[in-house]
Amino acid sequence: MTGVGRQATMILAAGLLLAGSSSLRAQVMEPLSYTNAPIGLNFLIAGYGYLWGDVLVDPSLPIKDIDAKVSTAVLTYSRVLDFWGQSGTFALVVPYAWLSATGEVAGQSRSVDRSGLSDVTLRLSVNLYGAPALSLPEFRDYRQDTIVGASLMVTAPTGQYDPHRLINIGTNRWSFRPEVGVSKAVGPWTLEAAAAVTFFTDNDEFLGANVRRQDPLYSVQGHAIYNFSPTLWAALDATYYTGGRTSVNGALNDDLQENSRWGATLAQTLDKHNSIKLYFSSGVSARTGTNFNAVGIAWQYRWGAGL
């Protein structure tokens, strides 16, 4: 897959992991987040993800031995823009989730099923160095070396939420995730690293009228991407994140996160307009909760910029 076909791949995993707790967002692994594409190119992405295991555990909830299965359908629109001579992207991610969970509440076994809209996400990504804004004819001669970029992901409290339920699809709060990253092309390889921090507003309707706060969540991720051909690439992905301790009405919970994950991604261009992507990820270690497995598939259609 060429740079034209890769530009929106950072949106796919993020959208497919937007159902459930906020820590899922910190676990998003995004190969090729900072790459180049022709200005004016548009992407429409339809994806499906399936997550199972310790997906929805919020350590501040009185739930033990939870086992959950979450299916998420995602629709994403993204466009490549010119930011002061460098390329960047704007993306809107709209997810819908179905979840089924069992666990022990106050010593009794309980099960729950939910479905509905999850929290909508906006993402603005700007390449600061190494990815000039180019038209499609100019882009054909572009070869990546080193790219440095930054992004901001904003998640809005639009998902289904009931303050009297222990488990919800929406989070009933805003989150803001600034990130900086670097991408280096070395022959058929592309090596990437990024660091981010997620800030959360308060949920003032937690199990009624309680106020739940969460400390910032810090994360790093790395990717090794191999280009088998101009239309086929694969990546090994890894992430580590820490922080995110919560409190309810000022009482601290013992839920500091120190978790890590690994994953793999495979993407194939079908023609100049269409491509498909597959991914898998799994937990390596988890101090508290959200040690789950995930698989997903996404179809991407691109148009504009004279393509």
Question: Per mean pLDDT, which range of 22-36, 90-104, 171-185, 218-232 is the poorest?
Answer: 22-36
* pLDDT more than 70, % of the chain: 85
Strands 108-117 and 86-105: antiparallel
CATH of the domain at 253: 2.40.128.130
Residue 190, domain extent: 3-303
pLDDT score of 201 more than 90: yes
Question: Which amino acid is it at 180?
Answer: V
Q: What's residue 1's pLDDT? A: 46
Q: What's residue 212's pLDDT? A: 92
Q: Where would I find the H helices in the chain?
A: 3-6, 9-16, 23-26, 136-139
pLDDT score of 54 more than 80: no
Tokens at 297, concatenated: 């598939």
The span from the CA of 18 to the CA of 225, in Å, is 24
Q: What is the mean pLDDT of residues 150-173?
A: 91
Tokens at 114, concatenated: 């939910």
pLDDT score of 52 more than 90: no
* pLDDT more than 90, % of the chain: 64
Q: What's residue 148's pLDDT? A: 98
* CA count, 13 A, side-chain hemisphere, 25: 35
**Cα angle, residue 136 at apex, residues 131 and 142 outer, rounded to 5°:** 40
pLDDT band at 124 (very low <50, low <70, confident <90, very high): very high
pLDDT band at 20 (very low <50, low <70, confident <90, very high): very low
Tokens at 134, concatenated: 């180019």
The span from the CA of 147 to the CA of 307, in Å, is 24
What pTM, to 2 d.p., does this model score? 0.88
C-alpha separations of 194 from 76, 179, 180, 227, 244 in Å: 22, 7, 6, 20, 19
Question: Which amino acid is it at 302?
Answer: R
Q: What is the mean pLDDT of residues 251-270?
A: 90
Q: pLDDT averaged over the chain?
A: 86
CA 114 to the chain's CA centroid: 21
How many structural domains is the chain composed of?
1
178 C-beta neighbours (distance < 10 Å), count: 14
The span from the CA of 191 to the CA of 173, in Å, is 34
29 and 13 Cβ atoms separated by less than 8 Å: yes
168 and 159 Cβ atoms separated by less than 8 Å: yes
